[in-house]
C-alpha cells in the first residue's frame, strides 16, 4: 500500500496558480479522473494531507477541501485513523461515463461537420434576416407589464380568446375558412395537434395518407396505433379513385402545396374529395402548412371553406410564415369534434406559453402580421425566381423541376444516372447539403431518375446561385 501511495505522489501534477480554477478543484478533478479511468485503483489509499501538501507545495486545507468533495460525491470514503480510500464502484457507472464521453465527442464531430457545409438547401429553414426583431421585442415587453401578470400562468387549454379571434379573422380573409374563434385549438406544433386529433377521432376510423407524403404525420398516426393506408398522388394531388378503393374514412392531405411534390390541388379534385368524404361519413384533415407563399395563379379556397357538411379539419402553423421557434400551430375543428374536444380533451394543458400568444395577438391586431407577410412574399418570390433561373442556366435539360408553383422548396429530378444516395454524397463532398425524397414514401422504389429536395427559404440569392453551380459540378451535368 505504501508503494502505491509513493507512486501516486510521483504522478501528481504540478498545480497551476495562474489558472482561474481553484487549486482544490484542479486536484479534485485530477483524482476523480484517475478513479474513473482506473489509473487510481479501487481500494487504494490516498496520500495523507501532510505528505501530499509537502509534495505539491500547497496548504493542507486545500487538500482537505478536495478530499471532502471526493467523499461527498462518493468516489472515496474516510476510514477513521486509517485514511481515505477509493470506493469500489459498480463497473457500469464508469462504463456509462465512457459511453457518454464518446457520444459527446461524436456530437462535437457532427456539429463540426455541419459547420463545414457552406450551403444548406434545408426546406425547414426560413429567412430570419427580415424578422421584425424590434417590433416583436416591443410587443413582448408590453405583454410583460405588471398588469398582465396573468400571462405568466398556463392559460386556457384551447388557447387565449383574443388570439383565437385574430386567427379566425385572418383565416376567413386569406383562406376563406369559415369558423368562429371557439372552433380553434392552439398547440405547440403540427405533430402535437395530430396526436390530439387521433385521440379525438379515435381508432374506429381508418386513415389514408398521401404517398409520398409528410413523414412526420405518418409517424404520428403509426405511433398512435392507427390503421394507415398510403394513397398515390398524381399531377392534381391525391388519387380519388385509389382512395375510393381503400377502406379509409379519414384522409390527411396537403392540397395547397402537396408535400413533398408541391402540386396544388385544383378545384375539381377538391370537390371530388369532399364528395368522397360525405359518402364515407368521415373526415378530411387539411394541412395548409405554407399556403401563404404562392408564385403562380390565384389562390384556391381552402377545402374547409368549400365544405358545407362539416367534415373538414383545418390545420395551419406560423412556423413557415413567422418563426419556427414560436411553436404556434392551430386546428379548426368541425362543430361535432369541437363538442367532443370540450367534453374529453380540455383536461390537456395548453402547450404554448401565454406570453407568446399575447405577443402574437398584438402583432396581428396592430397590422404587423399582414405587413410582415407581404414583405416575406416578396423576399421568397425573388429567391424562388433566382433558384429556377439558376437551374435553367446551369443544368438545363439534365434536370426537371417539380412543384414550383408555391411553398419554400422544389424537387429536382436529376437525369444523370446517379442514385439518390450518390447525389447527396457527391453534394456533401462539395460542402453542399441537399435532401432525399425517399423518406416520404411508404415504400420507396428506386426510380430511374431520383428526386432531390431543395429548400431555399434560409438561403440568400447569392448562396442559391452558387449552390446550383456547385451541384452542377458535383453531379457532372
Domain span at 458: 119-129+372-474
Q: 323 and 181 in one domain? A: yes
Whether 434 contacts 454, CB under 8 Å: yes
Using only C-alpha atoms, the chain has a radius of gyration, in whole angstroms, of 30
Q: Is 394 among the domain residues? A: yes
Cell numbers of 436, please?
432525399
Q: Which residues pair with 401 in a beta bridge?
A: 412
Q: Is 100 among the domain residues? A: no
Q: 266 and 183 in one domain? A: yes
Put the strands of the sheet holding 409-414 in their side by side order: 399-402, 409-414, 451-455, 435-436
Q: 284 and 420 in one domain? A: no
pLDDT score at 88: 80
- The conformation of residue 37, written as its DSSP 8-state character, comes to T
Beta strands per DSSP E along 295-334:
312-317, 329-332
Distance CA 93, CA 301 (A): 60
Q: Is 106 among the domain residues? A: no
Q: Where are the alpha helices (DSSP H) in 202-253?
A: 215-223, 240-245
Q: Is 450 among the domain residues? A: yes
Q: 376 and 357 in one domain? A: no
The residue out of 337, 368, 399 marking a domain boundary is 368
pLDDT score at 469: 96
- Give percent helix, percent strand, percent coil of the chain, each to the nearest 5: 50, 15, 35
- Cα–Cα separations (whole angstroms), residue 256 to 131, 295, 428: 24, 12, 32
Q: 354 and 220 in one domain? A: yes
The residue out of 368, 399, 415 marking a domain boundary is 368
Nearest-CA neighbor of 464 among 114, 122, 115, 130? 122
Nearest-CA neighbor of 413 among 436, 394, 390, 431? 436
Q: 376 and 276 in one domain? A: no
Q: Is 95 among the domain residues? A: no
pLDDT score at 110: 56
Q: 410 and 328 in one domain? A: no
pLDDT score at 16: 77
Distance CA 55, CA 14 (A): 9
Q: Is 109 among the domain residues? A: no
Q: What is the CATH number of the domain that holds 247?
A: 3.40.640.10
Count the Cβ atoms, other than its own, within 10 Å of residue 127: 16
Whether 379 contacts 370, CB under 8 Å: no
Count the domains in the chain: 3
Q: 382 and 420 in one domain? A: yes
Cell numbers of 119, please?
450551403
Q: Is 75 among the domain residues? A: yes
Cα 275–280–285 angle (5° rounding)? 75
Q: For the segment 16-38, what is each residue's pLDDT rounded down to a tens digit?
A: 777 778 888 888 888 888 888 87
Residues of the chain with pLDDT under 70: 1-14, 89-117, 146-149, 151, 299, 446-448
Q: 377 and 297 in one domain? A: no
Distance CA 395, CA 465 (A): 12
Q: Is 207 helix (H, G, I), strand (E, B) or coil?
A: strand
pLDDT score at 96: 46
The secondary structure of 145-161 as a DSSP string is SGGGGGGGS---TT--H
Q: What is the CATH number of the domain that holds 6?
A: 1.10.10.10
Residue 312, Cβ density class (10 Å: 0-12 exposed, 13-18 middle, ≥19 buried):
buried
- Cα–Cα separations (whole angstroms), residue 145 to 127, 135, 355: 30, 16, 11
Q: Is 185 helix (H, G, I), strand (E, B) or coil?
A: strand
Q: 73 and 12 in one domain? A: yes
Q: 322 and 235 in one domain? A: yes
Non-local CB neighbours of 414 within 8 Å, separated by 6+ positions: 398, 399, 423, 449, 450, 451, 452, 475, 477
The residue out of 333, 350, 368 marking a domain boundary is 368
Whether 260 contacts 436, CB under 8 Å: no
Q: 233 and 355 in one domain? A: yes
The distance of Cα 113 from the centroid of its chain, to the nearest Å, equals 19
Cell numbers of 387, please?
433558384
Cell numbers of 282, please?
368521415
Q: Is 98 among the domain residues? A: no
- The conformation of residue 294, written as its DSSP 8-state character, comes to B
pLDDT score at 103: 55
Q: What is the CATH number of the domain that holds 405?
A: 3.90.1150.10
Non-local CB neighbours of 400 within 8 Å, separated by 6+ positions: 412, 413, 415, 449
Amino acid at each position: 500500500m505504501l508503494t502505491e501511495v509513493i507512486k501516486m505522489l510521483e504522478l501528481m501534477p504540478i498545480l497551476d496558480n495562474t489558472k482561474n480554477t481553484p487549486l482544490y478543484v484542479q486536484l479534485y478533478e485530477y483524482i476523480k479522473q484517475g478513479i474513473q479511468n482506473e489509473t487510481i485503483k479501487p481500494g487504494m489509499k490516498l496520500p495523507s494531507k501532510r505528505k501530499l501538501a509537502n509534495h505539491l507545495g500547497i496548504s493542507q486545507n486545500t487538500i482537505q477541501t478536495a478530499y471532502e468533495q471526493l467523499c461527498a460525491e462518493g468516489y472515496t470514503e474516510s476510514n477513521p485513523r486509517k485514511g481515505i480510500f477509493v470506493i469500489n464502484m459498480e463497473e457500469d457507472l464508469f462504463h456509462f461515463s465512457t459511453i457518454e464521453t464518446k457520444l459527446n465527442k461524436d456530437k462535437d464531430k457532427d456539429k463540426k461537420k455541419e459547420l463545414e457545409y457552406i450551403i444548406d438547401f434545408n426546406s425547414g429553414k426560413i429567412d430570419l434576416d427580415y424578422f421584425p426583431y424590434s417590433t416583436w421585442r416591443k410587443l413582448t415587453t408590453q405583454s410583460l407589464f405588471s398588469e398582465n401578470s396573468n400571462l405568466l400562468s398556463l392559460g386556457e387549454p384551447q388557447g387565449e380568446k383574443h388570439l383565437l379571434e385574430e386567427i379566425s379573422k385572418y383565416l376567413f380573409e386569406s383562406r376563406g375558412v369559415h369558423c368562429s374563434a371557439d372552433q380553434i385549438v392552439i398547440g405547440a406544433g403540427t405533430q402535437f395537434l395530430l396526436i390530439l386529433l387521433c385521440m379525438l377521432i379515435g381508432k374506429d376510423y381508418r386513415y389514408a395518407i398521401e404517398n409520398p407524403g409528410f413523414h412526420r404525420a405518418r409517424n404520428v398516426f403509426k405511433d398512435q396505433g392507427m390503421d394507415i393506408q398510403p394513397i398515390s398522388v398524381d399531377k392534381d394531388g391525391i388519387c380519388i379513385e385509389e382512395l375510393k378503393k381503400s377502406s379509409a374514412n379519414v384522409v390527411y392531405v396537403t392540397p395547397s402545396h402537396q408535400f413533398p411534390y408541391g402540386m396544388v390541388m385544383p378545384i375539381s379534385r377538391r370537390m371530388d374529395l369532399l364528395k368522397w368524404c360525405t359518402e364515407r361519413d368521415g373526415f378530411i384533415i387539411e394541412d395548409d402548412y405554407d399556403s401563404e407563399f404562392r408564385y403562380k395563379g390565384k389562390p384556391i379556397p381552402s377545402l374547409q371553406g368549400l365544405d358545407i357538411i362539416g367534415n373538414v379539419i383545418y390545420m395551419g402553423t406560423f412556423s413557415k410564415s413567422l418563426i419556427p421557434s414560436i411553436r404556434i400551430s392551430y386546428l379548426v375543428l368541425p362543430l361535432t369534434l369541437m363538442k367532443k374536444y370540450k367534453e374529453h380533451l380540455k383536461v390537456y394543458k395548453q402547450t404554448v406559453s401565454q406570453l407568446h400568444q399575447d405577443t402574437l395577438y398584438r402583432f396581428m391586431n396592430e397590422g404587423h402580421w399582414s405587413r410582415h407577410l407581404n414583405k416575406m412574399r416578396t423576399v421568397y418570390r425573388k429567391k424562388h425566381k433566382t433558384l429556377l433561373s439558376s437551374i435553367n442556366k446551369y443544368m438545363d435539360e439534365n434536370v426537371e423541376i417539380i412543384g414550383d408553383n408555391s411553398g419554400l422548396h422544389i424537387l429536382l429530378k436529376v437525369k444523370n444516372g446517379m442514385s439518390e444516395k450518390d447525389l447527396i454524397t457527391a453534394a456533401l463532398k462539395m460542402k453542399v447539403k441537399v435532401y432525399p425524397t425517399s423518406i416520404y414514401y411508404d415504400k420507396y422504389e428506386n426510380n430511374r431518375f431520383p428526386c432531390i429536395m431543395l429548400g431555399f427559404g434560409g438561403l440568400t440569392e447569392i448562396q442559391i446561385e452558387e449552390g446550383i453551380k456547385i451541384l452542377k459540378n458535383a453531379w457532372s451535368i
